[in-house]
Structure 1
Amino acid sequence: MKILDKYLLKSFLITFTTVFVILFFIFILQTVWLFIAELAGKDLDFVLVIKFLLFSMPRIIPLVLPLSVLLASIMTFGSLSENYEFAAMKSSGISLQRAMRSLIFFITILAIVAFFFANNVIPFAEYKFINFRKNIAQAKPAMAIAEGQFSDIGEYNIKVNKKSGENGNILTGITIHKKSNSGNGARIVIKAKDGKLISSEKSSILKMVLNDGYYYEDVIPKKYEERNKLPFVKSFYKKQVVNIDLSELNNVDLNDSSITNTNNMLNVSELRYTLDSLNTNYDNDVVSFSENINQRVGLNHRTIKSDKPQKFKALPKNILSVLDDTQKSGLLKTVQNNISSTLFSIEASKNELKNKERNINKHWMALYEKFVIAYACFLMFFIGAPLGAIIRKGGIGLPIVFAVLIFITFHFINTFGKRLSQEGGMTPFMGAWMSSFILTPLAVLLTYRATNDIGLINFDVIFTPIQKTIQKLTQRFFPKQT
């Protein structure tokens, strides 16, 4: 039996390694394609490009590994069935479960390695990848300005619709927000039809020459009642130069790592610690928000919980009757302002709590996904191995069709569950494990049918009634001539 185990293990390992390398190369090409615009023409040396790709490689392992196990299992067991090697094994009294024993041992080791890889290597690589991109962007200012989104550079937030030119220094459709020192948002907005970036290695100042645009600046009056008019200054210009100080941005080390605020950079123990802090912070915010609203509307926990009757001074039935028209107008305006302020505070707090809840769900998802990838190796093996034995086809034809369909289903359900759980539509546990829960019965069914030589689908059950119906109709409308 050891000879058979070695033979099966060798066949599977050769197929698995080949499939894994091919799929890994395909996904690497996809990564290069996604970031080619970010890397090309930015005057980066070859070593920086290689480090960029190396840090991005581990993130594709959760996609490549389960698909490789699935495809290798279908191809290996399909080839054995196609060449009647399984028939020889069964005639010798060797069942499918016995034939799979050595491979189950290998898949167990692979699942353990996958978990430790997801728990240690992927967070480290993600940590390095994000920081490396940030540091490159700081060292290469033209690279820091991305198309179609706001980019934070010094005291400015810059958005461009399109970049062109040899080094991406020709800009089209420019919108610039200058940060306010008071922290009350951007009061200065500069728009331009096009522009150009001019930099020099000897200077820490990046010049942005803008053409044909508008300059807007919000003006905050000293009198509070005049602020509702929202006054602002607007001017048109043919050419304007914006100087951006890069003295702090250029003083960076490409090996420095200072970003630590993403859930994908944490291992299991760090995620548990972070989740504990996030949940505590969330609970405190809810309590603080409740107390703040109660104070705004004149309620407090002592008033609500008190069983003793409260003594109030006698008030007129209509409090407005004791006021003149001016006082009534002032009172109603004050009440209206208080209500608007309270509603605004409630809406802002609601959005803030929603974002914090979404962040907590993302951390839970990152925690569960480290276990899902290990289970996915088992799941794909117990789907692929019996499926290959049933379809009895090896090679790269029919097995690839089945593997792609199954994996797309798995990946679609997994993505749908993640999105839904992040928005609070279901618990993060169900979102992360939903695809595994749905496909596990398929693995059990296929293993049962392959063990009992039932086949994938009993077509006789479907076609026999149809055939009988056609025969009856034929005999009725086209009787045989005697």
Structure 2
Amino acid sequence: MFIFVLQTIWLYISELAGKDLDLDIIFRFLLYFSPKLIPLVLPLTILVSSIMVFGNFAEKYEFAAMKSTGISLQRAMRSLMVFIFLLSGTAFYFANNVIPWSEYKSLNLRRNIAQLKPAVAIAEGQFSEVGDISIKVAKKSGDNGQFLEDIIIHKKNPNRAGNYTVIKANEGELTSEEGSNTLSLILKDGNYYDEIISSNPQKITDKPFAKSYFDAYTINIDLSEINNIDLEEEQELSNEKMYRISELKMEIDSLSDKFNQDIKKFPEDIKVRSGITTITSNFKPETSDLRPVDNIMDVYNDVEQRQILELAISNVNGAVQTINAKKIDFQNKQKRLNKYEIALHDKYVIAFGCIILFFVGAPLGAIIRKGGMGLPMVVAITIFLTYHFLGIFAKNSAENGKLLPFFGAWLSTFIMLPLGIWLTYRATTDQGIFDVSSITEPINRFFKKLFKIKRQK
């Protein structure tokens, strides 16, 4: 646990160092973050300790002494099996209660830091992402670093890709009220530059822009967006980790119902937008004026035909854009739903993972007959990394919809299950991991028969 906490400090040192944070805030951050390491640390701990303990027993011939008195390997493991089952139950309770609590507390701690020390989100001399803006300041001052100098802001536009708006100011101040989720950035003595996108290709090369001067300009930043930024590698807060099993089931049912309703409603909306439903009601032909035509466009003159085609192309392009946007929206909703289902299964996986990795480590230690921190540690880390990375790849595939969430959460455990059964069987029957004679003996018999046949000929 100490090793993983140190790794956490090094991973997030840039988030903590140089931010004028008190030691108690840093300690609370580590305290709230530590429970999230338990699903990673506990299975590895059980695997390492079981290999070391049973490897020590086998290396010092303790198992030989036990077997000489009629004590089998299963009987020697019995008390530890009871302990592991109790530990698995504790791990399940921890995953269902303590980890959601720590996620909630860490989220509130980050929100409080952003309110009491808003400059934490902004570093000197580099661009920092804060809400929908990217900001760079030359210098910060004040008790909480709220006074800024030489400010450059790139403002994002949700309707256009890229930075088309630049704001420069000589001075600025960050303000936030207690309990508020809004951070106000007051800029003073600056200029506002907005690039103009022209429909004329010749004017695009001139790069036209609009410039305005201001004495004071206020930008309001939603702190809820900052709170949704996780301190993990992908900088995304997984809210599903904040729920217990009962709450996850309710959220999954709610998300599933809304998702199914959206899927059913979207084709109907597209049908209405296409205008198909209004054709019958709007088209009332006079029977006396009807005449047969090979092409409906022949009824109209050239100008009308061009207008009809342009309108049709515009409608089709609009429908395609709507469908593509809705496709992305459906993918995001499906991914969110998959994350909630994976989080639900993870509550059970940690408990079963502890049991299965014990039945992998204990017989493996008895087979390799080596204790201490050398070979057992190498073997345990190799097995655990395989188990861990299989779980990561499976969960990523499940989030993207390539695997069912159930298999994404349980795949690594299901792969380790037969390995644990096989190793337990080999250790119980006093066999090695690989029985070389079982492979070489059939080959020797084959060649002996082959040479015998040749001699007879």
Question: TM-score band (shorter)?
Answer: 0.7 to 0.9
> Shift of residue 49 of structure 1?
1.3
Q: Equivalent residue for 2:449?
A: none
The residue aligned with 2:133 is 157
Q: What SS does structure 1 have at the residue aligned with 2:134?
A: strand
Note the 1:359-438 alignment, pairs <5 A: 359-438=336-415
Q: CA–CA distance in 2 between the matches of 1:312 and 1:426? A: 58
For residues 261-306 of structure 1, give each alpha carbon's deviation from its aligned partner in whole angstroms, at most 9, with x where no partner exists.
8111001000000000000000110111010122233556xx9xxx
Deviations 1:72-119 (A, max 9, x none): 000000001111111000111111111111111000110001001000
Question: Which of 19, 28, 40 lines up with 2:17 in the alignment?
Answer: 40
Structure 2 residue runs without a partner (length 5+):
178-182, 224-236, 447-457
Deviation at 1:466, TM superposition (A): 9.2
Is the aligned partner of 1:119 residue 2:96? Answer: yes
How many angstroms does 1:219 deviate by?
7.8
1:265-414 matched pairs, under 5 angstroms = 265-298=242-275, 316-414=293-391
* Paired residue total: 414
TM-score, length-scaled by structure 2: 0.78
Matches of 2:244 and 2:390 in 1, distance apart? 24
* Partner of residue 132, structure 1: 109
| 1:20-47, Cα deviation, whole Å (9 max, x unpaired) | xxxx001101111122111111111122
Does the Cα contact within 8 Å between 1:271 and 1:363 map onto a contact in 2? yes
> Contact 2:155–2:163 at 8 Å: present in 1 too?
yes
* Shift in Å, 1:158: 2.1
- The CA RMSD over aligned residues, in Å, is 4.2
Instruction: Write out per-residue CA displacement over residues 132-160 of structure 1, whole angstroms, 9 at most, x where no aligned residue.
Output: 223312332332247776321xxx52255
AA partner of residue 216 (structure 1): D
Superposition TM-score, scaled by structure 1 size: 0.75
Q: 1:312 to 1:148 in 2, by over 3 A?
A: farther
Q: What displacement does 1:215 show?
A: 1.8
Distance in 2 separating the partners of 1:412 and 1:210? 53
Question: Taking every aligned residue pair, what percent have the same amino acid on both sides?
Answer: 42
> Would the alpha carbon gap of residues 173 and 99 (structure 1) be closer, same or farther in structure 2, given more than 3 Å must change?
farther
**Partner Cα separation in structure 1 for residue 57 and residue 34 of structure 2:** 33
Query: 1:245: Cα distance to partner?
Result: 5.7
Query: Could you say which residue in structure 2 is the equivalent of 1:64?
Result: 41
- Pairwise mapping of residues 19-34 of structure 1 onto structure 2 (< 5 A)? 24-34=1-11
Give per-residue Cα distances to partners, 1:324-382, cap 9 Å, x unaligned: 22111111110011100111111111111111000000000000001000001001100
Larger deviation: 135-144 or 377-386? 135-144
1:426 Cα offset (Å): 0.8
Distance in 2, Cα, partners of 1:378 & 1:273: 29
Using the TM superposition, give the Cα deviation of residue 247 of structure 1 relative to its aligned residue in structure 2, in angstroms.
Answer: 10
How far apart in 2 are the matches of 1:265 and 1:105? Answer: 30
Which residue does the alignment assign to 1:215?
Answer: 193
- Cα distance in 2 for partners of 1:430, 1:199 equals 51
CA distance in 1 between counterparts of 2:139 and 2:68 reads 69
Question: Given that residues 55 and 370 in structure 2 are in contact (C-alpha distance below 8 angstroms), is that contact kept between their aligned partners in structure 1?
Answer: yes
Assess, with a 3 A threshold, how the Cα gap between structure 1 residues 361 and 149 changes in structure 2: closer, same or farther.
farther
Residue aligned with 1:382, SS: helix
Judged with a 3 Å threshold, the aligned counterparts in structure 2 of structure 1 residues 78 and 244 are, in CA distance, closer, same or farther, namely farther
**Residues 459-468 or 25-34, more deviating:** 459-468
SS of 1:158's partner is strand
C-alpha distance in structure 1 between counterparts of 2:6 and 2:442, whole Å: 51
Aligned to 1:176: 154
